[in-house]
Amino acid sequence: AQSVTQLGSHVSVSEGALVLLRCNYSSSVPPYLFWYVQYPNQGLQLLLKYTSAATLVKGINGFEAEFKKSETSFHLTKPSAHMSDAAEYFCAVRKGGSNYKLTFGKGTLLTVNP
Interface contacts to another protein, rule CB under 8 A: 4, 32, 34, 36, 41-46, 49, 51, 90, 92, 94-107
Alpha carbon separation from 27 to 13, 42, 47, 84 (Å, rounded): 31, 30, 21, 33
Closer by beta carbon to another protein, 49 or else 64 = 49
Least spacing, CB of residue 35 vs another protein, in Å: 12
d(CA 65, CA 45): 16
Given a contact cutoff of 8 angstroms between Cβ atoms, the answer to whether 90 and 23 are in contact is no
Closer by beta carbon to another protein, 9 or else 14 = 9
Least spacing, CB of residue 91 vs another protein, in Å: 10
Least spacing, CB of residue 28 vs another protein, in Å: 15
Closer by beta carbon to another protein, 86 or else 102 = 102
Closer by beta carbon to another protein, 18 or else 46 = 46
Using a 10 angstrom Cβ sphere, with 0-12 exposed, 13-18 middle and 19 or more buried, the burial of residue 9 is exposed
Least spacing, CB of residue 32 vs another protein, in Å: 5
Using a 10 angstrom Cβ sphere, with 0-12 exposed, 13-18 middle and 19 or more buried, the burial of residue 71 is exposed
